[in-house]
Structure 1
């Protein structure tokens, strides 16, 4: 009989030289890349553009920079507030700060409103009607990095502390009759956003490692074995970081703090899963084989194909994100696929080497031995070994129940999942950056103060620009008449083209809301109508709308298009990989169907948990696509391990028995892997970043549904229902089933 490649490799990696050579090679690679390449964190770019230059809002921004450069900056809106009303002393202190900023500008500061030159009555005209709130803008250089703006705001904090008895930046919103100030606006929001992700990196890593370690200790009750996957993931992480940093330095990949955070979770969750599939197989075979080398060789032969297939499924699915147009989504592709690829290699090389070195001691103190070894061990101690129990395990009972009642199981699970999937149609989405911040984040508190005491539209006005061709327009009057518009500025003329006019339009609603976004086309329609009525030809090509609301409108349109492109491609790629591996059209179809059902169920159940359990009114618009990639790709992993086990067994035993044994033998390890993977994604829900909380919650629920509903019930039930046709058109499998049955 011809020896397979995996058998040859298993012989080599479990040999005396092979295991040590493998370990040494990994150590050398780890040392080399860390000594010669930069770390990923030093190459991240949190200011990378999300929209391409062809998007309307980006074109509008370029036009505004060219024709209306006075507004070319990042405003920080200092929102001053006292619940009982700002006093004359408060105003005097703010004017003192204004003079200081005029005489000694902050680093990267372009200008600030000179309220120190204004008389007290004039300043009071800027205060809200209830006398509690004053918004004081400071404009920073648009090209300044977030770190530089953050440093400027820190210096502002220090200066303010020196000028007031107590620092208004440190005052709490709940404090009564206390002067406070919050930095909001684009600059404040940008700094807070980067701070949130950077602060979570270390805590996320520690929480993930701790969770995985605890799970492994509980599941395997072996301190040595618990460390094997973690050490392997640590090696992979140590290689991935500098390699990714190298990619970033060479310009081959762009990534940000959010991507690195999720990559950490993915690496430890999925990486531990791949290790467990091999470890569990090795543990089972140690009870059949006296020779640990033979057991490891068989474990590698039996599980390597499924591990490689599962890893490649995830890698190709993640690479499909390169086709996305939205930068934040596209930037996930390289870090995530690279991490899974390297982890897959580690699980097939480094982990077998560790197991070969440690042997049965890996599982200390509960060391697996063959029956003969247990008898010999008992005789040496002068004891008599108790007869083996023949009582069927829970997995065998479950598998037997599925074989006897496949239709009831299939229909029941489809109904349950279908109910959850129904709620996915009820989800409300948002592209509001502030809604992903904790409620006590300074920029969000500042925005709330503006919303409560002024018009929230002041925070991010839309900029409507038109090419008038010298004609008189009634555009200001038309825009002011719109019910969702609070205020329209007088038109400004372009610096280079005097026929170019710009209007600042303040919405009467939250400019970051879906309602405001939905009015962007309406603003364009009004502008085009005004141009047409003035006799301007091709009016549609002579209107530009900029600002945060317009950018969010383009974001929604772009991500919707990305989903319509990326999702079908991922489905097609996974389908092809399943066809290549299983050589069955029928199996491919029902496995894909179960994972898609699981995905929509996860969205629905996730919405139920977030909306009704945590009072979330809308989830971030990126969540469906983010979650799809992970739930579908990782969920298919479990299907592959389950069905490959049934496939192999069906060639030598009746299909019913193959399903029973497949459910029983693969159930424990898949359940363990699913709990670990879901737990690592759930760690994201502990961070103060709502987009990660929502992503972690939905993805963790999807993994749990795959682990406890789809894999143990629906997939084996459908396999029994389809019978030998589940293997169509693979004649070999169908013939084997026909003969065994």
Structure 2
């Protein structure tokens, strides 16, 4: 029997890593092709992410009853520097027929266009406008590109053309997201590879870590793809980009922690397999606790009223889960195969002095009221020894100055303008649709093609139209008759005793001024018709911002409560988790303060999306706690041997390098989001990158260790970690 067990163990040990590697290769093989298909189940329609309770959602449902179509209007604008000649006017008059031939634009009998309004001349005679319905809402970019090609071929020389409005802006937004699958991932992987080369000076190890990260992403992509395909979640381009960055960053961070433990063990254990076992025993708890904390924090987004936020929660949580599984299965299997060769050409050498000695203290480094305070730095050299000495000599001065710096930086949060921006300001790169909106405002009412939609009682239609027209910011209003050019004999379309009123805005539909018009209409119209509903593009933007503000007030306390409970369970303490939570919250406010100043005065951004503070909070707090978990679990481990103050110094010295490297990697991967020319992703990239660096360099390196050192064993209250021989240290 013993012989059989020994034989089985002999075969299992090499077979298990090989099996795990094959499984992850299979996951990568399946997930890789899925990247090319995920856009098929992705949507960037802002209206689709609103809650069912929003007034604009109710209006949209009524619109589908009046208009038996899912078309999205495109505003085609042709401008000239001088009044067109008769010949040019004939060409412009024929454009509806040529545009109607584009696939995705509804056609009638014998190829006649239906529903295309125009040409509508401007009062100055220098522009004509067409309202073109786009039936293929799922592929706006293809249809809009087709319209632009037709215009390029048919618009007279010397004239400019634009395809704008909801369809044009939506198509350009899709184009901006086009880099997520390839460019974003390539940039992120390249940045991580370079950082890993610099950190480990190894050619092999960066490849092993990146394979682990990519395998985790491939597995996550497959699950997310099918969840979106089955309608369980709503996937957007921004969620897709965040998933890629989050998985690459998190999987690399977890891998770095395991690799650091493995390399440390290789100095004390001759067998690479034994060293790997020791590394796994030391790393699995902080890695699992860290991933669990982030997953639970992300799942708090399920309580969001915005479907985009609610969907991002499970999408990102799935990514973190596979990052955890890959770091604890795929990477260990690879390290088991490569052993010390993973660090080639600088392989860790066995240190014959393997005993863990406890230094009797550091001369000239007295602690606050404790002669043993300088202990724990045996074997710690370089920068982290110097930082630890500073903390040991002046713990209170260190944490007070760090705290003051964070408080001062937090003052900038008063300048944060996270009240939403117009859709024309979302796209940072060149956009024909954005340029078209500016040109439209010069020749027509800027809200043309994106009306405010009012659902009113049929019996009160005339009074509602009159009230809408008398409202400031409205150019004209009319009851929907089903005709692109209603005449005096047109009959209003009614559904269940209600009519639809379309009101043209004077300002751009996605501007602050347009949202103020919606607010005024919702305030005043109920006096005319108690059951009136106000919706449309402007209302959707307004309701999105209001809902985002509500989510911020709801989810932040929930995330903090969940993380606090996890930390209490992990550290078996109440005071330590409170200190850690307070530190990351202050780090978040400081980051948002600095970001507000940078956005307003350096980058010149017009503002920020209303969801930016919430996304920044969830990522920074969850990921900031990550690094504190890495630190404090090691401190608690060392404190049980050395006492709390010595444990703080040794824990900081042993984790300082790897946690800082992990922070740099995560900051760099999130910074890669900046390659996508979208305001939201550019701002999120800066916030998370700067916040992670601030957390790893100031909060986790100075504030938390110095405060923990100053508190001594009291940091574990009411636990008992760090109490040795009846004496609290």
Interval containing the TM-score (normalised by the shorter chain) = 0.7 to 0.9
Equivalent residue for 1:736, pick from 720, 724, 729: 724
Q: Alignment partner of 1:109: what SS?
A: coil
How many angstroms does 1:422 deviate by? 1.8
Distance 1:391 1:330 in 2: 45
| C-alpha contact 1:14 1:353 (8 A) present in aligned 2 | no
Tell me the number of residue pairs that the alignment of Structure 1 and Structure 2 aligns: 681
Map of 1:589 onto structure 2: 578
Describe how 1:425-574 pairs up with structure 2 within 5 A. 425-428=414-417, 429-438=419-428, 440-467=430-457, 470=459, 474-489=463-478, 495-497=493-495, 500-531=498-529, 539=530, 542-574=531-563
Q: Alignment partner of 1:617: what SS?
A: coil
How many angstroms does 1:77 deviate by? 0.5
Equivalent residue for 2:106, pick from 101, 104, 109: 109
Distance 1:256 1:237 in 2: 17
| C-alpha contact 1:26 1:350 (8 A) present in aligned 2 | yes
Map of 1:668 onto structure 2: 657
Map of 1:65 onto structure 2: 64
The yes-or-no answer on 1:334 pairing with 2:314 is yes
TM value normalised by structure 1 = 0.86
Give the 3 Å change call, closer, same or farther, for CA 194–605 of structure 1 in structure 2: same
Distance 1:509 1:527 in 2: 20
4+ runs of 1 displaced by more than 6 Å? 11-14, 32-38, 490-493
Give the 3 Å change call, closer, same or farther, for CA 153–28 of structure 1 in structure 2: closer
Distance 1:87 1:395 in 2: 77
Map of 2:126 onto structure 1: 132
How many angstroms does 1:666 deviate by? 0.7
Alpha-carbon deviations, 1:270-318, whole Å to 9, x = none? 1100000010111122222222222222211111100010011111111
The yes-or-no answer on 1:411 pairing with 2:400 is yes
Give the 3 Å change call, closer, same or farther, for CA 579–55 of structure 1 in structure 2: same
Distance 1:445 1:252 in 2: 37
Give the 3 Å change call, closer, same or farther, for CA 497–661 of structure 1 in structure 2: closer
Distance 2:554 2:409 in 1: 25
Give the 3 Å change call, closer, same or farther, for CA 438–13 of structure 1 in structure 2: farther
Distance 1:13 1:185 in 2: 66
Alpha-carbon deviations, 1:375-429, whole Å to 9, x = none? xxxxxxxxxxxxxx98942101101211222222222122221222221222112
Give the 3 Å change call, closer, same or farther, for CA 211–13 of structure 1 in structure 2: farther
Give the 3 Å change call, closer, same or farther, for CA 229–80 of structure 1 in structure 2: same
| C-alpha contact 2:609 2:680 (8 A) present in aligned 1 | yes
Q: Which moved further from structure 2: 270-279 or 599-608?
A: 599-608
Q: Alignment partner of 2:589: what SS?
A: helix
TM value normalised by structure 2 = 0.87
Give the 3 Å change call, closer, same or farther, for CA 473–31 of structure 1 in structure 2: closer
Map of 2:243 onto structure 1: 263
How many angstroms does 1:20 deviate by? 2.8
Distance 1:692 1:35 in 2: 25
The yes-or-no answer on 1:189 pairing with 2:178 is no
Alpha-carbon deviations, 1:515-549, whole Å to 9, x = none? 43234232122212234xxxxxxx2xx11112111
How many angstroms does 1:234 deviate by? 2.0
Q: Alignment partner of 2:528: what SS?
A: helix
| C-alpha contact 2:148 2:162 (8 A) present in aligned 1 | no
The yes-or-no answer on 1:227 pairing with 2:198 is no
Q: Alignment partner of 1:181: what SS?
A: strand
Map of 2:372 onto structure 1: none
Q: Alignment partner of 1:139: what SS?
A: strand
The gaps in structure 1 that reach 5 residues or longer are 1-10, 117-122, 167-177, 375-388, 532-538
Map of 1:641 onto structure 2: 630
| C-alpha contact 2:74 2:131 (8 A) present in aligned 1 | yes
How many angstroms does 1:677 deviate by? 0.3
How many angstroms does 1:553 deviate by? 1.6
Give the 3 Å change call, closer, same or farther, for CA 472–292 of structure 1 in structure 2: closer
The yes-or-no answer on 1:150 pairing with 2:150 is no
Give the 3 Å change call, closer, same or farther, for CA 21–483 of structure 1 in structure 2: closer
Map of 2:710 onto structure 1: 721
Q: Alignment partner of 1:604: what SS?
A: helix
How many angstroms does 1:727 deviate by? 0.1
The gaps in structure 2 that reach 5 residues or longer are 1-8, 108-113, 355-377, 482-490
Give the 3 Å change call, closer, same or farther, for CA 475–600 of structure 1 in structure 2: same
Map of 1:318 onto structure 2: 298
Q: Alignment partner of 2:49: what SS?
A: coil
| C-alpha contact 2:213 2:251 (8 A) present in aligned 1 | yes
How many angstroms does 1:113 deviate by? 4.3
| C-alpha contact 1:651 1:737 (8 A) present in aligned 2 | no
Q: Alignment partner of 1:325: what SS?
A: coil
Q: Which moved further from structure 2: 358-367 or 54-63?
A: 54-63
Give the 3 Å change call, closer, same or farther, for CA 648–227 of structure 1 in structure 2: same
Q: Alignment partner of 2:161: what SS?
A: strand
CA RMSD of aligned residues (A): 2.9
Map of 1:56 onto structure 2: 55
Equivalent residue for 1:275, pick from 255, 274, 282: 255
Q: Which moved further from structure 2: 680-689 or 507-516?
A: 507-516
Distance 1:477 1:730 in 2: 71
How many angstroms does 1:571 deviate by? 1.3
